[in-house]
Amino acid sequence: MILIADGGSTKVDWVAIDKNKNEVFRAQTLGLNPNVVSDEELHHRIANTEALQTHKESIDQVYFYGAGCGTEKPKMALHNILSAYFNQAKEVIVEEDMLAAVYASAKNKEAIVCILGTGANSCYSDGKDIYSIAPPLGYTIMDEASGNYYGKRLVRDYFYKKMPEDIRRAFAAEFDLTPDVIKHNLYKADNPNRYLASFAKFMFDHQENAYIKKLVKNGFKKFFNFHILNYKKAPSVPIYFIGSIAFYFSNILKEVADDKGLVIAEIIRKPIDNLIDYHKNIS
């Protein structure tokens, strides 16, 4: 049985298929980004998922595509944990989430593929290999227009009193904004990026507000400037987006693309079904 996982920082979608390419089970765990989650917690999140427990001895191959797996050290850390848990698997492959995004969208076509979810990233695919502008350095200095990027700006604008008063009141009513709670989640707890991204839901609920629209649009402009326009092929190849931020704010995203003379081929909220189709076709 082949186990395939699309792993974001917030959650991981798991799907198993048998040798006849039939789906056996699906599961979902919390995010398994090895850059922001301890080894102990990574193991805990996998081991305490019932479907994975039930079928672990039947897994022959694992294909894990995950946020935080774009550099060697965290990639190997997660590989070791998965290999130890699925100890009957003959092969465990861990790759960055960008590769899954390409498989789920452009496949073997030339394109620029972008992720806008809890985190953010992009790559250029020539149909065979993928190339990135820069290594993914995470939520503290990169991730423009991601959920955690917007979460930081919402919290900052709240405390600096840069939000319109009606939005500020609504924001305070929805979240615990006690400074000690915020600092604990940012500097002590696992997944600070997921915590920041949890504030982005507020934007979905208030997306018609002028302040929110401007915030989203400015973030998208930064993403295009850093993550798309630096690719020389940007004006001439299709552009794909993966993730909830891109999906739920697709109108603003398309507006920014139009302003820059770029074409968005498709926006996919969750890539897991397309990723499964890809693996069925190559197996």
Q: Which residues of 202-218 are buried (b: 16+ CB within 10 A; e: fewer)?
A: bbeebeebebbbebbbe
> What percent of the chain has pLDDT above 70?
100
* pLDDT at residue 234 in the model: 93
DSSP letter at 191 equals -
In angstroms, rounded to a whole number, what is the distance separating the alpha carbons of residues 274 and 258? 26
Q: Which residues of 102-141 are buried (b: 16+ CB within 10 A; e: fewer)?
A: bbbbbeeeebbbbbbbbbbbbbbbeeeebebeeebebbee
The burial class, CB within 10 Å (0-12 / 13-18 / 19+), for 197 is buried
281 — pLDDT class (breaks 50, 70, 90): confident
- Six-digit token pair at 254? 């398309």
In angstroms, rounded to a whole number, what is the distance separating the alpha carbons of residues 253 and 267? 10
* pLDDT at residue 283 in the model: 64
Q: Which residues of 26-48 are buried (b: 16+ CB within 10 A; e: fewer)?
A: ebebbbbbbbbbeeeebbebbee
* pLDDT at residue 282 in the model: 78
**Residue 198 CA, distance from chain mean position:** 13
In angstroms, rounded to a whole number, what is the distance separating the alpha carbons of residues 96 and 122? 11
Whether 228 has a pLDDT exceeding 70, the answer reads yes
Return mean pLDDT, the chain: 95
In angstroms, rounded to a whole number, what is the distance separating the alpha carbons of residues 184 and 179? 9
User: What confidence tens digit (pLDDT) does each residue in 129-183 have?
Assistant: 999 988 888 889 999 999 999 999 999 999 999 999 999 999 999 999 999 999 9
In angstroms, rounded to a whole number, what is the distance separating the alpha carbons of residues 24 and 48? 19
User: What confidence tens digit (pLDDT) does each residue in 82-138 have?
Assistant: 999 999 999 999 999 999 999 999 988 999 999 999 999 999 999 999 999 888 888
Domains and CATH numbers, the chain: 2-100+272-282 (3.30.420.40)
Instruction: Say if pTM beats, i.e. exceeds, 0.85.
Output: yes
User: Average pLDDT for residues 191-196, to the nearest whole number?
Assistant: 94
Q: Name the pairing type of β-strands 120-125 and 130-131.
A: antiparallel
DSSP letter at 236 equals G
Any idea what the Cα angle at residue 202 is, between residues 262 and 220, rounded to 5°?
15
Q: Which residues of 224-240 are buried (b: 16+ CB within 10 A; e: fewer)?
A: bebbbeebeebeebbbb
User: Average pLDDT for residues 201-208, to the nearest whole number?
Assistant: 94
Give 3-state DSSP helix, strand, coil % of the chain, rounded to 5.
Answer: 45, 20, 35
User: What confidence tens digit (pLDDT) does each residue in 5-37 have?
Assistant: 999 889 999 999 999 999 999 999 999 999 999
